[in-house]
Amino acid sequence: MAFTKLPAGVRDLLPGECAALCDIRERLARKFRMSGFEPVESATLEYYDTYSRIANAVAQERMFKLADTDGRLLVLRPDATLSVSRIAATKLGAPRARLSYFTHKFDLQPSGENSAREIEQAGVECLGEEGAFSDALTIAFAIECLKETGLADFVVEIGHVGYFKGILSECGLSGKDAEAVRVHVNAKDGVSARNLLEGAGVRKEAVRAVLELPSLFGGAEIFARAEALTASAQARSSIARLREVNALLCKMGYEKYICYDLGTVRSLGYYSGVVFAGLAREMGAPVMSGGRYDGLADDFGKHVPAVGFAMGLRRILVALERQGNLPAPVPVAVAFACEEGAEEAAYRAFTQAVSQGKRALLLPGYGREDLRGVEAAEKYFATKKGLERL
């Protein structure tokens, strides 16, 4: 076995990529802080039962598991939002909170277009908030955060799980069959969805409504079509909420960044209302996703309505690279080539430059005869204008 290789689904970040990622983190941390969000950090290790015995359980085959010294089963954090929901239900006394985080989650068997097992995320949770304005405000902030990273060409697709739930309620399906239909609709597999629905004896009008879902994509004009497809009060209420959210986002100036998709259906247990995803043209998978999940904290003993989103930082990094918009590296402002006997002066000059906010470099071991080494350092750090010999 080659022990220098990494397991599947994880990777190292070399200095250039890591510097760009640090810049993105710093931009977002400042954005979160200045927008009133308080940082929180959940534990990386948690008990397996925390995620396996709740209503929105994480599939056991998706969790990295290890044994504690007392034999109890532990897992690496499998979901950031569930972790924050646990904190909100068990440790926060205030009825409302706005929290932000930078974290890693771990997925033993990633699915779909995600091949990463270690996923770095930045996100926010608006806890104790309800209503259309809260939904619209969270989507608007997600757009602003994507812009803050430097991403230029992206769109946020918005949907509502209540619409699909309402249509399914007219089909009279079991939970297992309903989930199978959701999977088929997401995969745009109309044939399999039709076969399952007709095999279950679902009436023709309800079958037609389900099969129309993938075509409900575009601007606000799809709302009227969506309402005409169903008499479900839940589905129609969901469209009414989307109309409110759309009106608010347009008034706030975000019309060009948004579209609507009622045919991409997220987990029906996890989400409770509006859902959204940020898509960059250069990526085949979302760089951001979020929504309303009013019931997640209930699993931990307290009802806390909530809406939020998470950004995949490494996906954003790839998208920026493909767009040619990676953050420019901070150049070294001054480099000091230290000759023998000048160590003290060199170090003082170096620390003074750093204290003045300059990116500085101290190169020990360069004598007068070693010009080639100094020139190589100049070229590597792009500091030809700032090299000083001490």
**Each residue of 150-193: pLDDT tens digit?**
998 899 999 999 998 888 888 877 677 888 888 888 778 888 88
pLDDT number for residue 15: 87
Per DSSP, the three-state class of 258 is strand
pLDDT number for residue 210: 85
Task: Kindly tell me if the per-residue pLDDT of 261 is higher than 50.
Answer: yes
Task: Kindly tell me if the per-residue pLDDT of 206 is higher than 50.
Answer: yes
Average pLDDT over every residue of 315-342: 84
d(CA 167, CA 170): 5
Token pair belonging to 178: 């309903």
- The 10s digit of each residue's pLDDT in 101-158 is 999 999 998 765 567 899 999 999 999 999 999 999 999 999 999 999 999 889 999 9
pLDDT number for residue 157: 96
pLDDT number for residue 371: 43
d(CA 354, CA 352): 5
Average pLDDT over every residue of 196-214: 85
- The 10s digit of each residue's pLDDT in 332-363 is 787 777 777 778 888 888 899 899 998 888 87
| Structural contact between residues 160 and 239, judged by C-beta atoms closer than 8 angstroms | yes
Token pair belonging to 272: 């409770």
Pick the CATH number of 15-323 from 1.10.10.10, 3.30.43.10, 3.40.50.80, 3.30.930.10: 3.30.930.10
Helices (H), the chain: 15-34, 48-52, 80-90, 132-148, 161-169, 175-186, 190-199, 204-212, 222-228, 233-251, 313-323, 343-355, 371-381
**Structure pTM?**
0.89
pLDDT number for residue 287: 95
Confidence of residue 327 (pLDDT cuts 50, 70, 90): confident
Confidence of residue 300 (pLDDT cuts 50, 70, 90): very high
Write down the domain spans for the chain.
Answer: 15-323, 334-389
Task: Kindly tell me if the per-residue pLDDT of 86 is higher than 70.
Answer: yes
Mean pLDDT taken over the chain: 87
